[in-house]
Amino acid sequence: MTAAIPLPPSTEQNSPETRGQRADGAKARQLLLHAGLRLFAEKGFAKTSTREIALAANANVASISYYFGDKAGLYRAAFTEPMGCTASDRALYDQPGLTLRQSLHAFIANFLAPMKQGELVQQCTRLHFREMLEPTGLWAEEIDNDIKPAHAALVDVLARHLGMAQADDALHRLAFSITGLPLQLFIGRDCVQAIRPGLIDQPEAIDAWVHQMVVYAEAMVAIEATQRQLNLPPAGNEKIATS
């Protein structure tokens, strides 16, 4: 495994808004973010220079410090911003008053929302793959701060609707399986684009995925409920007959 390349802490002191951002500041920041995202995804953090990023964005190097603090701040923004996902997102689906369908719809719709950005989110996905191969620490941070809490919230939703006081391994497998439905669209976007581009090239197409995946997820939960009611072993635990 490749040794981790520690990401230097960002030296950013203030957000662009508190610095009296120019009228065109949002556009300038976006150009830097997109240029940085593309280059970081292609070359990684260590092999990408701020000069390259500034040149690709038709900006001066000092603008990176202005908007992001330093290269580390730009890398962090490129890694996280296109994907969204904050602690407040979990409140969209982890609410006791929601039906199972409402919770699953909110979870999957929020998960797939970044897909509506098209190629931008695909570059961010590639950057995540590169981060796994050439870690700076951001992937591990995302697992701890975002993925684990989101998984725990989904497990809580499933446990509540299945009438379980405590989650077991089968419930965690169910949660991972439901998460895999929207996740595969990020991983396989290039394949979908090559085979059936109409399935992902418009925001409305992503909405169609959401509705279909909610139905699939509901079916998965229903199967889990039936297994538990009949006291059947979790799927995959049966002994396979050998000849």
pLDDT band at 87 (very low <50, low <70, confident <90, very high): low
Terminal Cα distance for the chain, rounded: 39
Contact 113, 84 (CB under 8 A): yes
Range name among 2-16, 82-96, 177-191, 203-217 with the lowest pLDDT average: 2-16
Contact 135, 200 (CB under 8 A): no
Apex 49 CA angle, 51 and 19, nearest 5: 65
Average pLDDT over every residue of 68-90: 88
Q: Please compute Rg for the chain using Cα positions.
A: 21
Q: pLDDT value at position 20?
A: 44
All structural domains of the chain: 16-80 (1.10.10.60), 84-229 (1.10.357.10)
Contact 103, 117 (CB under 8 A): no
In whole numbers, what is the pLDDT of the chain averaged over residues? 88
What's the pLDDT tens digit per position in 119-166? 899 999 999 999 999 999 999 999 999 999 999 999 999 999 999 999
Residue tagged 């957000």 (tokens):
15
pLDDT band at 7 (very low <50, low <70, confident <90, very high): low
132 half-sphere exposure, CB direction, 13 A CA radius: 6
Q: Residue 201 above 60 pLDDT?
A: yes
